[in-house]
Amino acid sequence: MLKKTLTVGAVSALCLGVAMASPASAVTAVTLCQTHVEKNYLTFVLPGKTDLHTSVIPCVHRDTSGNMRASIKFGWSAATLPAVGSGHKLDSLKVVVRMERRLNGSSNDTVLTYATCDFTDEVNSTWNGEETCSVGTAYDYDSSYDWSADGYFTYNFNNDGEGTFTNSLVGSPLIY
């Protein structure tokens, strides 16, 4: 019977080889989205038109290269079919997405970057759809931080005389 043994030097070399692996090869791609919070789902009660159901979902993404990205998916659909009223539902609809991070164990987020997307024309042109507002970042994944996507959206209904409303979102779960 042939017996194979590793010497201490061989074990050290083997461990050193694993430790020297490039960080990018050890990164797992992940996307985490906040989909189970009632605050991120609204029904727009539109004067003289079919109401709209909306979903506003913040997501944080890490790709296999360690690049971090934040996005918000804004979806809408007619509350009843067939839709009634003119297609001009909103005077304004803007989504703001933020890439945030905090030191592990902290609850204080730091906004790294943000983007504002205007979806007024898209929502006014159809009764059902989905658009995504996203922001990439020059920041690479660092495990000493917790990463998240957060944001808010503003909207102004056509012909309601009420002005612009702001709705803050519950942010994405954290990537540790």
- How many structural domains compose the chain? 1
Q: Examine the pLDDT at 23 and tell me if it is beyond 80.
A: no
Residue 139 confidence (pLDDT) = 85
Residue 17 domain-assigned? Answer: no
Once rounded to an integer, what is the mean pLDDT over residues 42-49? Answer: 93
Q: What percent of the chain has a predicted confidence (pLDDT) above 90?
A: 78
Full 3-state SS string of the chain: CCCCCCCHHHHHHHHHHHHCCCHHHHCCCEEEECCCCHHHEEEECCCCCCCEEEEEEEEEEECCCCEEEEEEEEEEEECCCCCCCCCCCEEEEEEEEEEEEEECCCCCCEEEEEEEEECHHHHHHCCCEEEEEEEEEEEECCCCEEEEEEEEEEEEECCCCCCCEEEECCCCCCEC
Residue 162 domain-assigned? Answer: yes
Domain assignment of residue 91, given as a range: 26-167
Residue 5 domain-assigned? Answer: no
Residue 79 domain-assigned? Answer: yes
Q: Examine the pLDDT at 142 and tell me if it is beyond 70.
A: yes
Residue 20 domain-assigned? Answer: no
Whether 171 and 100 have beta carbons less than 8 Å apart is answered as: yes
Residue 25 confidence (pLDDT) = 54
Per residue in 101-131, pLDDT (tens digit) is 999 999 999 999 999 999 999 999 999 999 9
Q: How confident is the model at residue 19 (pLDDT cuts 50, 70, 90)?
A: very low
Distance from the Cα of residue 96 to its chain's centroid: 10
Residue 34 domain-assigned? Answer: yes
Q: What is the CATH number of the domain that holds 161?
A: 2.60.40
Whether 60 and 68 have beta carbons less than 8 Å apart is answered as: yes
Please state whether the predicted TM-score (pTM) of the whole model is above 0.85. no
Which residues does residue 42 pair with via DSSP β-bridges, in sequence order? 54
Residue 36 domain-assigned? Answer: yes
Per residue in 46-85, pLDDT (tens digit) is 988 999 999 999 999 999 999 999 999 999 999 999 999 8
**94 phi and psi angles, rounded to 5 deg:** -130, 140
Q: How far apart are CA 111 and CA 113, in angstroms?
A: 6
Residue 9 domain-assigned? Answer: no
